[in-house]
Structure 1
């Protein structure tokens, strides 16, 4: 390892940072706390030259890549090739869910890569730093996969970190994300998840490493970080990135009560907003009421399907009636929510798709949430991917796994939905994201700026536009599904013009709603800051 007194850094961590990459930031803080000069460079596929220039300036001994998304595998491979071609000789290592699970395939596909840090990376990367020039000692580093004389070797998995309070808070540097002058940041209260949803790789990522499936920081430790961010960086809005905010069982319920008490004790609860994610069967009226009193503003809830067959496929362990009950509780508490939803899955039929559309119509009828949807992706390491492979149905590529449906007409329905709603559902300028942002903006105005505007009127206007968008999109989806259900593939293709006409009507409606939204938000545009 190069001399520690030289300029630059010892370890440069590169990762996707559209939202704060708390995994990278935690590793950077841990390394720094152990005397290793660690820095972070945000990843952007269009800025390879910037990354190369940063590496040349910092001259790190190790460059660590955070591969959060499986779909970005070959983007990172191209980046590593580019860096090697331009003379970068540092040790390249990578971490993340996919690379931990598919470490052999990762090393085979990316010859420029020297090692894979598996599972939680703090201690493993620290030990690698101290031994990077001593290849023979790598076999003693737990949680590492690497090349050795043309073969791939892997060491035993490293036990998971038991005491999350022992890890320093994530590195916070650079520009603060703001909304109306209020600082926003991500924060993490726990690691892991108890559940085993068939489409999720979290269990596989943590499951091989010894230790509890889920671990929490202490309430006082989290609130201490929140207060520091509040005081030193002006953060007023906290987005908890926990995989699941558990509300079942005495232990977790007491944890939440203690967390609420700590927020009240530090006297910041009336000056902040925060968001959590939870399962349908974790919704607890008493606990949510307590959290709402200290700033809880929104819950992201993993609904996933409005069909009992879909919920069974996803191994959710609850039924559609349970979903309606949970959403009813949130509405009674006047707690805003967002949700995840996969309208297509490997067991989809025309009937289940129509059930999903009817479900979205019901929950979006009042405009409190925007209707949106996607297709379930069989990520590496998930039980659904293994099942599809056993059935001979796993298709696509390593970075974009896919499958076809038992009813081939669903491939055409998926194509129509994708062509018609892709921009609406997934683009930052599409209606889904814009209406979500307006909904969030209304919550912020009501909390911090109610003396400057009629936040209630704004909230209602956003709901009206959301309701209109839901009605239009879901009616088009219903008509398309009914049309295809009555015909075979050849007839569908022969009459595709009918579907194109539906798509044009939807695009026109989206443009009108977007214009109305522009006019609405412009009326609430005023000087920011509190």
Structure 2
């Protein structure tokens, strides 16, 4: 049957490996498809990532389907250019369909996108289930589109911005997302499923597109499904597909205050009472971490946590609007280590206002981590400026942004020229060492060995190499900071940049030669 609507997620990165870590279902599109199907409409989803299709192949499938509506999902601005290119090809190929876009970035820049790109007919802002359904129902009657809340659209060469739609208050009322791609992933040996237990985040981080996305709509910014509803979906997936691992994609697994704690406890009780034997991971804030509660969650399968620590500078934490202290971050990491829970830490090493002392403070904080349990993502992370965020507005007001809202990675001016030089040196000289330090992560993700002792030994050696390279990398950054800061002027520092880069290169080669040899040997092993 010909679909009325085709929903599209394009492949984000050309060289992304096909690994269990990266092949996550397009859960947002699957929620949309399930809601539309429940209301009697035919929907097709084309996912360039899980199906490993090129943009050209996606275009061919859309033209063949010839739907009434094509909907693109776009989270961040680094994806927008390719989506615009594909939309333009569709129009030039004669497709007579309404092209709409949704997600964080289009919601933030809805008027600018429609003004500058004629291949787009509308933008669905914020949560899309009800808005997309109403657009589909009224597609042949554009004079009625004014009544569709949450829609920005072009009609008779004018841009119309309708009032925002309130966020969905009761998520239990939504049907479970369709699982169009899970059978294919399971057939490849993957037993992991993406799942959402909540939507939104009650935090007020000024750099976060999630915060901007939900706070610009009406209604509660964080809403949780009932634990009973969540566990019911988990059980369905275990029974239907043999899923043994759940990746919660919640922006924050926990709700605010005491109610958030009680809900997490109820979730643990529900898993225990149902006898569900699975593992799972989620993201949360550092002030959500409580030893008693997390011990209880670990008992029912929790094995990994992502924390947005961001900085070891209280000045920066306050500037980012985190509402968290350095000590709270430190205590959270220590508690997770004590419980033996693997932890990924989001960290921003530099931003436009960073100083050399800030970098030293951050490195000192990171070196205190037990890297056997704590993974820092990334090791050298600069602030990402997402459209529509409070930090985006601030940098524009202070004339520090170099690029426009469509650029893949928006660059900015550093207030301290020495920090700017340090950033250049680290990125130009140490990038290869960053990649080597992360190499083991991708080896483990692609490993489909037979579980033999030799294979496990190789994985252990790789982990040791990774940890040592991370330490060398942090020491090299400190070396760069010390050398640049001791210069009398930025001009003097720039003159010795090439010499300094060579010196760092030689030091890293000398200190890591045995590790490099180990990695080269392991690259040739059957583990790949």
TM-score, normalising length: structure 1: 0.88
Query: How far does the alpha carbon of each residue in 1:90-141 deviate from its partner, in whole angstroms, 9 at most, with x for none?
Result: 1000001111121111112221100000110001101101111111011011
Q: 1:366 to 1:51 in 2, by over 3 A?
A: closer
Report the Cα distance in structure 2 between the residues aligned to 1:407 and 1:363, rounded to whole angstroms. Answer: 28
Specify the SS of the correspondent of 2:312. Answer: coil
Q: Give deviations 1:483-506, integer Å, cap 9, x for gaps.
A: 111122222222122223313543
Q: How does 1:275-314 map to 2 (within 5 A)?
A: 275-314=281-320
* 1:492 paired residue number: 493
User: Matched residue of 1:301: which SS?
Assistant: strand
Aligned partner of 1:405 in structure 2 is 414
The residue number in structure 2 matching 1:193 is: 201
Task: Answer whether contact 1:300 1:337 (CA < 8 A) is retained.
Answer: yes
Q: CA RMSD in A?
A: 2.9
Deviates more, 1:144-153 or 1:495-504: 495-504
Unaligned 5+ residue runs, structure 1?
1-6
**What SS does the aligned partner of 1:298 have?**
strand
8 Å contact kept, 1:22–1:170: yes
Report matched runs for 1:215-364 at 5 Å. 215-246=223-254, 249-269=257-277, 272-364=278-370
Give the match for residue 32 of structure 1.
Answer: 37
Q: Distance in 2 between matches of 1:84 and 1:441?
A: 38
Higher mean displacement: 57-66 or 370-379:
370-379
1:182·1:234 contact (CA, 8 Å) conserved in 2?
no
By how many angstroms is 1:19 displaced?
2.7
Cα distance 1:456–1:316, how it changes in 2: closer, same or farther (>3 A)?
Answer: farther
Counterpart for residue 3 of structure 1: none
The more displaced of 456-465 and 410-419 is: 456-465
Partner of 1:4: none
Q: Which residue does the alignment assign to 2:26? A: 21
In structure 2, do the counterparts of structure 1 residues 51 and 520 end up closer, same or farther at CA, with 3 Å as the change threshold? closer
Offset of 1:465 from its aligned partner?
2.5
With over 3 angstroms needed to count, the CA separation of the structure-2 counterparts of 1:287 and 1:248, relative to structure 1, is farther
Is contact 2:341-2:373 (8 Å) kept?
A: no
Residue pairs, 1:357-372, within 5 angstroms: 357-364=363-370, 368-369=374-375, 372=379
Give the 3 Å change call, closer, same or farther, for CA 293–121 of structure 1 in structure 2: same
Q: 2:147 aligns with which of 117, 130, 140?
A: 140
Does the CA contact (< 8 Å) of 1:367 and 1:464 recur in 2?
no
Deviation at 1:525, TM superposition (A): 5.5
1 CA distance for matches of 2:458 and 2:150? 51
Q: 1:277 to 1:179 in 2, by over 3 A?
A: farther
Partner in structure 1 of residue 161 of structure 2: 154
1:463, distance to aligned residue in structure 2 (A):
4.8
For residues 208 and 419 of structure 2, the distance between their equivalents in structure 1, rounded to whole angstroms, comes to 23
Cα contact 1:176–1:183 (8 A) shared by 2: no
Cα displacement (A) at 1:173: 2.1
CA distance in 1, matches of 2:79, 2:188: 32
**Residue-pair matches, total:** 509
Alpha-carbon distance, 1:348 to partner: 0.4
Aligned position for 2:20: none
2 CA distance for matches of 1:287 and 1:186?
23
Does the aligned pair in 2 maintain the 1:145–1:155 contact within 8 Å? yes
CA contact under 8 A between 2:47 and 2:53: conserved in structure 1?
A: no
Partner residue in 2 for 1:100: 107
Deviations 1:341-383 (A, max 9, x none): 1111122011111211222222256674357131112211111
Name the SS of the counterpart of 2:126 in structure 1: coil
Q: How does 1:76-91 map to 2 (within 5 A)?
A: 76-91=83-98
Do the aligned partners of 2:6 and 2:45 also contact (CA within 8 Å) in 1?
Answer: yes
Shift of 1:518: 7.1
**1:41-56 to 2 correspondence within 5 Å?**
41-43=46-48, 47-56=54-63
Cα distance, 1:395 vs. partner? 2.4
Distance in 2, matches of 1:35 and 1:268, equals: 33
Q: Which residue of 2 aligns with 1:477?
A: 477
Q: State the distance in 2 between where 1:247 and 1:329 align.
A: 20
SS of 2:123's partner is: strand
1:225-248 Cα distance to aligned partner (Å, 9 max, x none): 111111211211111110012276
Structure-1 residue corresponding to 2:17: none
From 383, 395, 402, the counterpart of 1:395: 402
Any idea what SS the aligned residue of 1:132 has? coil
Q: Please tell me whether residue 117 in structure 1 is matched to residue 124 in structure 2.
A: yes
Distance in 2 (alpha carbons) for counterparts of 1:62 and 1:234:
34
1:257 Cα offset (Å): 1.4
Cα offset for 1:191? 0.3
Contact 1:146 1:153 (8 Å CA) reproduced: yes
The C-alpha deviation readout for 1:439-459, integer Å capped at 9, x for no partner, is 7799x99xxx99x76999788
Change (3 A) 1:328 1:379: same
User: Offset at 1:524?
Assistant: 9.7
The correspondence for 1:376, drawn from 373, 383, 387, is 383
Distance 1:224 1:166 in 2: 14
Q: What is the alpha-carbon distance in structure 2 between the residues aligned to residue 431 and residue 176 of structure 1?
A: 31
Gaps of 5+ in 2: 12-22
Query: In the alignment, is the contact (CA less than 8 A) between 1:395 and 1:403 conserved in 2?
Result: yes
- 1:172-221 per-residue CA deviation (whole Å, 9 max, x = no partner) reads 12354469945112111100110110101222211132211100111111
SS of equivalent to 1:153: strand
Q: Measure the CA separation in 2 of the matches of 1:454 and 1:262.
A: 40
Residue 166 in structure 1 maps to residue 173 in structure 2: yes
